[in-house]
Amino acid sequence: MIKAILFDVQGVLYVNGQLNPTLAGFIRERYEEYQFALATSSGAWIRERLKKDGLATYFDLIVTADDAGLSKSDPKLYEGIAKRLGVGPAEILFVDDTEQFIVAAREAGLHAVHYTDPESFLAQHEH
3-class secondary structure, 70: coil
Which region, left, alpha or beta, applies to residue 126 given φ > 0 means left and ψ of -120 to 50 means alpha? beta
The β-bridge partners of 61 are 37
Distance CA(93)–CA(36), nearest Å, equals 10
Residue 125 pLDDT class (50, 70, 90 cuts)? confident
- Packing angle, helices 75-85 and 99-107, rounded to 10: 60
For the entire predicted model, the pTM comes to: 0.93
Q: Domain of 62?
A: 4-125
* Domains contained in the chain, number: 1
CATH number at residue 40: 3.40.50.1000
Give residue-wise pLDDT tens across range 87-117. 999 999 999 999 999 999 999 999 999 999 9
